[in-house]
Structure 1
């Protein structure tokens, strides 16, 4: 028997309860015959983040992960898509692999996580070695992101932590502000620009920026959903979300 709407694949999409971007982003990229089933990790919105409280908050998200996954797997998904960014970068490449492996072991399903998916996207473009990235995080978390990409063999030339004050504030960062940051990150010494932080809305802006910057601009939600589709054997080519979903 096959799910009548998800006759190609049924995907469980996991994100924090404060996240308002992952669900619409991934629904917009969903091909026919694939269904997304959003399940959230309960998390309180902090009043004011800092290096210390950001780390504490991401720890709490990690602690709530298993309860969320227990709910997610009751719909018998074919695959898990993790719309949580910061904790997937912790501990560098080894930490990311251990994290993804632990999720797969717990659920019995293969999983796409943001860190490994973004690295795979960079490799798919080919010829990328020097990158810059933007995040909604604080410097302590950006250091983990930088460590991960360096472990993967990329040189991180520049990065910008936006230091959003709450989890929900991340979704309020405007395109105008992100355009400023893209110009700040770009340069002849950068082969590609990456955006991390799944509650930061950038899938469409990244696709547009590729045209006027003339180089890859990869949004983490695009990379994660692309990776999940390709791992599931779905190779539909889609417009409006950049070269990654169109050409790779």
Structure 2
């Protein structure tokens, strides 16, 4: 058997995807955006379905995700992926740009391959559109985590004009936020003082709604799952245009 033969399905790239075990949105979202020859191999970060009833309990729950990430990395590396794609976002914003870089370096040290994180991918996506200075965003988080997102964005030179923390009461409840709720949030966030609208929180699937909203709002609307998968593709030299998920994957 040829040792240099390519994977029969992932003949372009094998992506190892890291997501909390409670997350039911990342895997189907990433698979929907997957071009031919790229395969996604999901590794679950084992966490209980944390009940978030305050800033303190939300932070504690996300810290548990961070603590358990390394074991999930070690697990997925057994299939020898070329690259890692993070499927959780909250902890990648903590500590601003410096904290995001530190988190990425920690994962790289264990995996030995490069990776795309939610926070840094989002920053790269905003820059790809160009001309964005003021943003607004929605999250499933509690206010304490939204503050971390604002801090991260400010490190990249983006001013947050408005933000909405949906305060979802558990990790699994995030995936149950419906389209009317998100559509209302988009209307609340929009305004002439906002250049782009963002969505963070990977279990809050907004990849298709964001694409539709770009057409009727006439400005960038960036879902974090779209941004992270786009970043992973482009970082690996895969320039395929993937349609139905907004301008990011179609134009940049």
TM-score, normalised on structure 1?
0.99
Is 1:16 paired with 2:20?
A: yes
Q: Indicate the residue corresponding to 2:90 in structure 1.
A: 86
Check whether the contact 2:199–2:206 (CA below 8 A) recurs between aligned residues. Answer: yes
Q: Indicate the residue corresponding to 1:199 in structure 2.
A: 203
Provide the secondary structure at the position in 1 that maps to 2:197. Answer: strand
Q: Indicate the residue corresponding to 1:31 in structure 2.
A: 35
Q: How many residues align?
A: 248
Q: Indicate the residue corresponding to 1:114 in structure 2.
A: 118
- Paired with 1:33 and 1:47, the residues of 2 have a C-alpha distance of 39
- Paired with 2:87 and 2:34, the residues of 1 have a C-alpha distance of 14
* Pairing of 1:95-114 with structure 2 (within 5 A): 95-114=99-118
- Paired with 1:177 and 1:58, the residues of 2 have a C-alpha distance of 24
Q: Give the deviation of 1:106 after TM superposition.
A: 1.2
Provide the secondary structure at the position in 1 that maps to 2:160. Answer: strand
Q: Indicate the residue corresponding to 1:230 in structure 2.
A: 234
Is 1:51 paired with 2:30?
A: no
2:175 to 171, 175, 179: 171
- Paired with 1:183 and 1:36, the residues of 2 have a C-alpha distance of 34
Unaligned residue ranges in structure 2 (runs of 5+): none
- Paired with 1:131 and 1:166, the residues of 2 have a C-alpha distance of 27
Q: Give the deviation of 1:15 after TM superposition.
A: 0.2
1:145 to 143, 149, 161: 149
Is 1:160 paired with 2:143?
A: no
Considering only aligned residues, what root-mean-square deviation do their CA atoms show, in Å?
A: 0.6
TM-score, normalised on structure 2?
0.98
Unaligned residue ranges in structure 1 (runs of 5+): none
Q: Give the deviation of 1:48 after TM superposition.
A: 4.0
